[in-house]
Amino acid sequence: MSDLTKIIFSLLTMGILSNTPSHSQWIGDSTNESHISRGIQYVYNLSFDSAKTEFQTVTRLRPDHPAGHFFLAMIEWWRIITDMENTAHDDKFYRMLDKVIDLCEKRLDKDKNDLTGLFFKGGALGFQGRLYGNREDWLKAANCGREALPLVQKAYKLDPNNSDILLGIGIYNYYAAIIPEIYPWVKPLMLLIPKGDKVKGLTQLREASEKAKYANIEATYFLMQASQYFEGRYSQALELATKLHYQFPNNSLFHKYIGRANVSLGNWEEMHHVYLQIFDRAKKKQIGYDLSTEREANYYLGLYEMNSNKYTDALQYFYKSDELSRLLDKKEISGYMVLSNLKIGMIYDLQGKRNLAITQYKKILDMKDYQDSHKQAKQFLKTPFRSS
C-alpha cells in the first residue's frame, strides 16, 4: 500500500488535532487558556520541551480537565509524524489518549451534552485512529473513526456556530467523498458510515482556517494537503505552505510542502533553494529533519542537478537516496528507491555507460511498478535514454 493511501485512510478515521471548544467552553480560565495557546504554538514549531512546560502547568492546575492531557499527547503525536519509521513513542501516545478518554467519560457520565467531554473524547479517538491507520491496523482505525464521528456531529449540533468544530466535520466530509472515488477498495468500509460532501468539506475547512481559535492551523494544514495531493491547486498549496512555514519555521513538514509544491509547479530554482535548506538541516540532525526527510532532499536535489546536466553531482544525490531507501524501506520498496534507480540508469545512458544502464533498468523490473517505472525501463532497455 502506498504512503499516500496510508495517509488519507488515516485522515478518514477522524484526525482532529485542535478540535476543541471555543474560548468560553474551554477551561474558562484565561491563565490556563494562555498556557494552552502558547503550548500549541510551541508544538507546531516542534519546540517540545517548551510545549510540555505549558501543558503540564495546565494539568497541575486542572488535573481533572482533559485539555492539558490532550495536548501533552499532541507533543507525542508530532514526535511520531516527524519520524514515522520510529514506533518507540506509539504505546505512550495511546496511553496518554486513553487517559483523556477516561476524563471525558467522567464528564459525560454527569452530563451527556458536555461539550468539552465530546470534543476531547472525539479528538482522542480520532488521533488513536490516525496512528492505527499509519501502522496499517485498519480494523482498529475504522473502529476509532466510527466511534469518534457521532461525538463530533453531536458537538456540532449543540454548537453549530463554533468554527473550531468545523475542522473535524470538514475533514470527514472532504475525505469521505473523495477516497471512494480514488480507492475503490475502500467502498465496502464506507457503507457503514455517512456519505461525505467534497465541496461542503472544503468550505468548512476554509472557514476553520480563517476563523477558528484553536483549529485554524490544523485546518490550514489539511487544506494544503488537499490542494497538493487531490485538487491539483499547486499554487494554493505553495501559498498555504509558505504561510505555515513563515509562522513555524522549524516545522519540517511545512518546510517540505514548500519544496513539493514548487516541484509540482516546475519552479526548479525555488525548489533547489528549499531542498538545500532541508538537506542542510537534515545533515545537522535538526529535530523533525529525519532520514526520510534527508532522502527526499537527496532525490529532488538529484533531479535538479540532472536537469542542469550535472550528471556526476546528480548521481551522488541519487546514490544517497537509494542508500537511505535501503535503510528505511523495511516493509516495502518506496517510490524514492524505484525512481532513484531509474534516474541512475538514465544518467548512465547519458554518460554512454550502456551496460551499467541496462543493469539498472533490469533492476527496476524486479521492483514494484511506480509511476510507469516498468514501462520506462522496458522502453530504455530497447532504446537508450536521451535527454530531450
pLDDT per residue over 124-143, tens digit each?
A: 998 898 898 888 787 788 78
The amino acid sitting at 261 is A
From CA 327, how far away is CA 156, in angstroms rounded? Answer: 45
Determine contact, residues 196/167, Cβ cutoff 8 Å: no
- Please provide the DSSP assignment of 61-123 as one string: H-TT-HHHHHHHHHHHHHHHHTSTT--TTHHHHHHHHHHHHHHHHHHHHH-TT-HHHHHHHHH
Q: Which residue, among 307, 236, 235, has the nearest Cα to 268 in the 3D structure?
A: 307
For residue 231, give the DSSP letter.
I
Q: Cell numbers at residue 12, please?
A: 478518514
Between the CA of residue 320 and those of 178, 233, 317, 326, what are the distances in Å? Answer: 36, 31, 5, 10
pLDDT (0 to 100) of residue 26 = 54
Q: Which residue, among 348, 291, 360, has the nearest Cα to 320 in the 3D structure?
A: 291
CATH architecture of the domain with range 3-231? Alpha Horseshoe (1.25)
Q: Which residue, among 142, 149, 199, has the nearest Cα to 174 in the 3D structure?
A: 199
- Angle value at C-alpha 231, between 167 and 132, nearest 5 degrees: 50
Contacts of 324 (CB under 8 A, 6+ apart): 291, 292, 294, 295, 298, 336
Q: Where in the chain is the domain with CATH 1.25.40.10?
A: 290-382
pLDDT (0 to 100) of residue 1 = 38
Q: Cell numbers at residue 283, please?
A: 545533515
pLDDT (0 to 100) of residue 194 = 75
From CA 252, how far away is CA 74, in angstroms rounded? Answer: 16
For residue 193, give the DSSP letter.
S
Contacts of 253 (CB under 8 A, 6+ apart): 81, 82, 221, 288
pLDDT (0 to 100) of residue 28 = 67
Q: What long-range pairs does 364-373 form, CB within 8 A, spacing at least 24?
A: 364/338, 367/333, 367/337, 367/338, 367/341, 368/332, 368/333, 368/338, 370/335, 370/338, 370/339, 371/335, 371/338, 371/339, 373/338, 373/339, 373/342
Provide the terminal-to-terminal Cα distance of the chain, rounded to the nearest Å: 33
Task: List pLDDT tens digits, range 80-123.
Answer: 988 888 899 999 999 999 999 999 999 999 999 999 999 899 88
- pTM higher than 0.95 for the full model? no
Q: What is the dihedral of CA 78, 83, 85, 88, to 10 degrees?
A: -60
Q: Which residue, among 124, 117, 75, has the nearest Cα to 98 in the 3D structure?
A: 124
The amino acid sitting at 258 is I
Q: Classify the phi-psi angles of 86: left when phi > 0, otherwise alpha if psi is within -120 to 50, otherwise beta.
A: beta
Total count of residues recorded for the chain: 388
CATH code, 290-382: 1.25.40.10
Q: Cell numbers at residue 54, please?
A: 505549558
Q: How high is the mean pLDDT in each 10-residue block of the chain (388 residues)?
A: 42 41 55 90 96 96 94 95 89 97 97 92 89 83 83 88 84 83 73 81 94 88 94 97 97 97 97 98 95 97 97 98 94 94 98 97 96 96 91
